[in-house]
């Protein structure tokens, strides 16, 4: 293991067999100009956010310094895909839909990047898109399917069109996404898309993505067509008519009951990996503090911020990642070229610099899927570590550490000198996704997973409105001899290290000593170092009780229930008790206080 870097004023990473480093940024995390209560009732499309008021280093064509095969055999790798998807219809306003495709292609070819082009069904069967791609794509580009529904695919599949009569494509959830159709209809729509694609391109599509893929559709596509890569939306709140919350941060093998949840056992695993799209800001998105999607998309202020883009690339290329880092760049054509014309070239120029520096593989989504299959038999551990504020805030900057395994995902968050657990979700092969067998019939839905701690949904309305209130979190304290507690704060910056499947965050405390946070595939452990022998560690889970899923607390176990599904967290070297605002867990001795998160079948 290499020696620690920094720990006072610069980000610090320690890696066993991976590179270390970082860089610098502006603003922060999501949109929606309504109260939390209104956001629960209403949802907006990404276009509505943009139209509603947010219209407001060197080019390099060198090859990567290290071959992609070398990364694969080293046991960990970092991949970036450029994926643009194409619609032929935009009923909400007049938009030149071919110009973005032409401009994107020209920029990508200048830099000699591989790229993925996914076509919605209307773009497969009408317009100039297929002819253009066949004429202009270099050999290292690929085409695939953007699996959203429209009138043409419904007609060809023999399924009645339920969208607006005057629209060819309707963005509402029950119309656009597979979950709006019965399982048999989903399979028919998938078969129709695949057969039409093959009739046009002479081969099966190997890459399929959407904003909302479901387990029925992807199991059918994987089992019958050998798809290499799926793409699904990042976590989001009430955007495009749906919430996704608690899914893995990067890449995973989905299970056959829930496309948002990784498989625990091989018998329940879909054999095609799922990749999360859009290049999510890992720091600010969670608390819903920015009034727009804070992603790498070049139409949004985040994707237009050179500071954010630099720091996102820096995280992807240099921070600890465990087994892999994944990011997707690109933009759908339906926003029009003018909205992306400044940031898209900027991102491509910066990506060329990343490639020249080495350490990152730039390839098609299909190739990343094939690499994932060769490298991993089940979902590996992954991390996203952003130890500088991604938007360059100087006053109370925020930093974050995400860890993911097939058993859980966790977020340790830093606000100034405060730090706390912000998120903890567990996974189970037995927990079905909403609308697995029954089609959705309304616009505005939630797809949430099994929370042990949900720092957004379990906070009160004041916090969700960006004011002081009851924040859902896991707070670290010392337990004094008289039973009182003292909250821990950080001195300097955290130091993050990794070895094998373990990620460790070392927090030097203002009170003296150090707190070690140790994330392993099935467990999370916390331990003091260099503190007086009688000092005991406490972990206080705090939330709005009526919003949480907690059901019962015993001394060594926390029992939860969500959507009539029971799940459990087991405690080692600690004693749990229920409090008015959540749960208190007190260490019993100087050994590490541990939470076991694997859910039994």
> If the chain, 601 residues long, is cut into consecutive pieces of 10 residues, what is the mean pLDDT of each piece?
40 46 27 35 52 36 40 75 96 94 98 98 97 98 98 97 94 96 98 98 98 98 98 92 95 98 98 97 90 92 97 97 98 97 98 96 98 98 97 92 98 97 98 97 94 97 91 95 91 96 97 97 97 92 98 98 98 97 94 95 71
Among 402, 574, 377, smallest CA distance to 503 is for 402
Among 389, 373, 375, smallest CA distance to 294 is for 389
**Does residue 456 belong to any structural domain of this protein?**
yes
**Shared-domain flag, residues 438 and 516:** yes
**Shared-domain flag, residues 406 and 281:** no
Which H, E and C letters describe 70-116, residue by residue? HHHHHCCEEEEEEEEEECCCCCCCCCCCHHHHHHHHHHHHHCCCCEE
**Shared-domain flag, residues 264 and 371:** yes
| Distance in angstroms (rounded) separating the CA atoms of residues 50 and 170 | 18
DSSP H helical ranges for 242-364: 301-304, 306-318, 343-357
**Shared-domain flag, residues 22 and 166:** yes
CB 530 within 8 A of CB 513: yes
CB 278 within 8 A of CB 296: yes
Dig out the tokens for 569 from the structure: 């967290």
**Does residue 386 belong to any structural domain of this protein?**
no
Q: What is the pLDDT of residue 11?
A: 61
**Does residue 423 belong to any structural domain of this protein?**
yes
Q: What is the pLDDT of residue 64?
A: 36
| Distance in angstroms (rounded) separating the CA atoms of residues 302 and 231 | 21
Number of domains the chain is built from:
2
**Does residue 11 belong to any structural domain of this protein?**
no
Q: What is the pLDDT of residue 484?
A: 87
Of 376, 408, 443, the residue at which a domain comes to its end is: 376
Q: What is the pLDDT of residue 600?
A: 85
In the DSSP assignment, the letter for residue 57 is -
Residue 295 backbone dihedrals phi, psi, to 5 degrees: -125, 180
In the DSSP assignment, the letter for residue 263 is -
N- to C-terminal Cα distance for the chain?
36
Q: What residues have CB less than 8 Å from 541, skipping those under 6 apart?
A: 453, 473, 474, 582, 583, 584, 585
* Bridge partner list, 262: 254
**Does residue 345 belong to any structural domain of this protein?**
yes
* CA pseudo-torsion sign 535, 539, 543, 549: negative
Dig out the tokens for 4 from the structure: 């620690």
Q: What is the pLDDT of residue 480?
A: 84
Among 284, 195, 200, smallest CA distance to 235 is for 284
Dig out the tokens for 76 from the structure: 């960990």
Residue 304 backbone dihedrals phi, psi, to 5 degrees: -95, -10
**Shared-domain flag, residues 408 and 540:** yes
**Shared-domain flag, residues 352 and 445:** no
CATH code of 512's domain: 2.70.98
Q: What is the pLDDT of residue 46?
A: 56
CB 159 within 8 A of CB 181: yes
| Distance in angstroms (rounded) separating the CA atoms of residues 169 and 149 | 7
Q: What is the pLDDT of residue 65?
A: 35
The DSSP code sequence of 194-247 is HHHHHHHHSS---EEE-SS--HHHHHHHHHHH---EEEEPPPEEEETTEEEES-
* Bridge partner list, 419: 414
pLDDT digits (tens, 9 = 90+) for 323-377: 999 999 999 999 999 999 999 999 999 999 999 999 999 999 999 999 999 999 9
* Upper half-sphere CA count for residue 36 (Cβ side, 13 Å): 15
CB 175 within 8 A of CB 163: yes
**Does residue 392 belong to any structural domain of this protein?**
no
**Shared-domain flag, residues 371 and 404:** no
**Shared-domain flag, residues 453 and 362:** no
Q: What is the pLDDT of residue 6?
A: 35
**Shared-domain flag, residues 169 and 307:** yes
Among 99, 6, 95, 106, smallest CA distance to 47 is for 95
* Upper half-sphere CA count for residue 4 (Cβ side, 13 Å): 15
**Does residue 325 belong to any structural domain of this protein?**
yes
* Bridge partner list, 559: 552, 568
Which helix (H) or strand (E) segment is 562 a member of? strand 557-562
Dig out the tokens for 320 from the structure: 């600890």
**Domain range enclosing 20:** 16-376
Rg of the chain over all Cα atoms, to the nearest angstrom = 23
**Shared-domain flag, residues 402 and 330:** no
Please state whether the predicted TM-score (pTM) of the whole model is above 0.95.
Answer: no
Q: What is the pLDDT of residue 291?
A: 78
Q: CA-based angle 340:318:366, to the nearest 5?
A: 60
Of 376, 411, 429, the residue at which a domain comes to its end is: 376
**Shared-domain flag, residues 363 and 283:** yes
**Does residue 329 belong to any structural domain of this protein?**
yes
Distance of alpha carbon 105 from its chain centroid, rounded?
A: 26
Cα distances (angstroms) measured from residue 538 to each of 476, 495, 535, 574: 6, 21, 10, 9
Q: What is the pLDDT of residue 482?
A: 83
CB 156 within 8 A of CB 192: yes
**Max CA separation in the chain (angstroms):** 77
Dig out the tokens for 551 from the structure: 């059901």
CATH code of 116's domain: 3.20.20.510
| Distance in angstroms (rounded) separating the CA atoms of residues 55 and 601 | 49
**Shared-domain flag, residues 293 and 419:** no
């Amino acid at each position: 293991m290499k020696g620690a870097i920094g720990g006072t004023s610069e980000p610090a990473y320690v890696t066993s067999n991976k590179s270390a480093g970082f860089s610098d940024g502006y603003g922060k995390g999501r949109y929606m100009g309504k109260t939390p209560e209104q956001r629960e009732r209403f949802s907006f499309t990404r276009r509505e956010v943009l139209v509603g008021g947010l219209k407001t280093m060197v080019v390099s064509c060198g090859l990567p310094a290290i071959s992609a095969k070398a990364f694969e055999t080293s046991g960990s790798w970092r991949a970036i895909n450029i994926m643009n998807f194409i619609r032929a219809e935009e009923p909400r306003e007049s938009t030149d839909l071919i110009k973005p495709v032409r401009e994107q292609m020209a920029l990508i070819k200048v830099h000699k990047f591989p790229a993925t082009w996914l076509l919605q069904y209307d773009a497969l069967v009408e317009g100039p898109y297929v002819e253009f791609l066949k004429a202009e794509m270099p050999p290292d580009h690929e085409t695939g399917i953007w699996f959203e529904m429209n009138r043409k695919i419904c007609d060809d599949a023999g399924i009645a069109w339920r969208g607006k009569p005057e629209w060819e494509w309707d963005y509402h959830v029950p119309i656009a996404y597979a979950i709006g159709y019965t399982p048999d209809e989903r399979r028919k729509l998938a078969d129709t898309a695949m057969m039409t694609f093959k009739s046009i391109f002479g081969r099966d599509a190997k890459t399929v993505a959407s904003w909302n893929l479901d387990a029925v559709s992807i199991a059918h596509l994987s089992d019958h067509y050998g798809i290499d890569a799926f793409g699904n939306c990042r976590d989001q709140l009430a955007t495009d008519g749906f919430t996704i919350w608690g899914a893995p941060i990067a890449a995973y093998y989905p299970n056959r009951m829930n496309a948002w949840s990784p498989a625990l056992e091989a018998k329940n695993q879909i054999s095609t990996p799922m990749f999360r799209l859009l290049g999510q800001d890992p720091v600010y998105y969670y608390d819903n503090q920015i009034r727009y999607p804070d992603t790498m998309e070049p139409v949004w202020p985040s994707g237009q911020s050179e500071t954010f883009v630099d720091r996102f690339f820096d995280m992807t290329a240099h921070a600890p990642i465990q087994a892999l880092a994944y990011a997707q760049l690109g933009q759908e054509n339906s926003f029009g070229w003018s909205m992306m014309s400044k940031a898209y070239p900027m991102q491509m120029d910066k990506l060329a610099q990343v490639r020249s520096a080495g350490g990152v593989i730039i390839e098609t989504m299909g190739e990343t899927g094939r690499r994932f299959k060769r490298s991993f038999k089940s979902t590996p551990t992954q991390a996203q570590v952003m130890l500088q504020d991604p938007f360059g805030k100087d006053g109370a900057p925020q930093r974050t550490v995400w860890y993911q395994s097939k058993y859980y995902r966790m977020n340790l968050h830093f606000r100034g000198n405060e730090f706390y657990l912000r998120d903890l979700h567990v996974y189970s092969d037995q927990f079905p996704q909403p609308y697995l067998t029954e089609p959705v019939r309304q616009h505005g839905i939630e797809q949430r997973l099994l929370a042990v701690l949900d720092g957004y949904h379990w906070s009160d309305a004041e916090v969700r409105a960006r004011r002081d209130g009851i924040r859902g979190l896991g707070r670290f304290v010392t337990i004094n001899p008289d039973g009182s507690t003292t909250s821990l704060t950080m001195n300097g910056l955290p130091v993050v290290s990794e070895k094998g499947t373990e990620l460790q965050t070392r927090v030097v405390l203002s009170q003296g000593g150090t707190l070690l946070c140790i994330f392993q595939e099935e467990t999370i452990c916390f331990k003091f170092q260099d503190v007086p022998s009688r000092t005991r560690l406490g972990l206080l889970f705090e939330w709005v009780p009526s919003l949480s899923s907690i059901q019962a607390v015993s001394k060594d176990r926390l029992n939860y229930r969500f959507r009539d599904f029971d799940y459990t967290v087991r405690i080692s070297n600690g004693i749990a008790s229920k409090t008015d605002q959540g749960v208190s867990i007190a260490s019993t001795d100087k050994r590490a206080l541990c939470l076991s998160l694997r859910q039994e079948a």
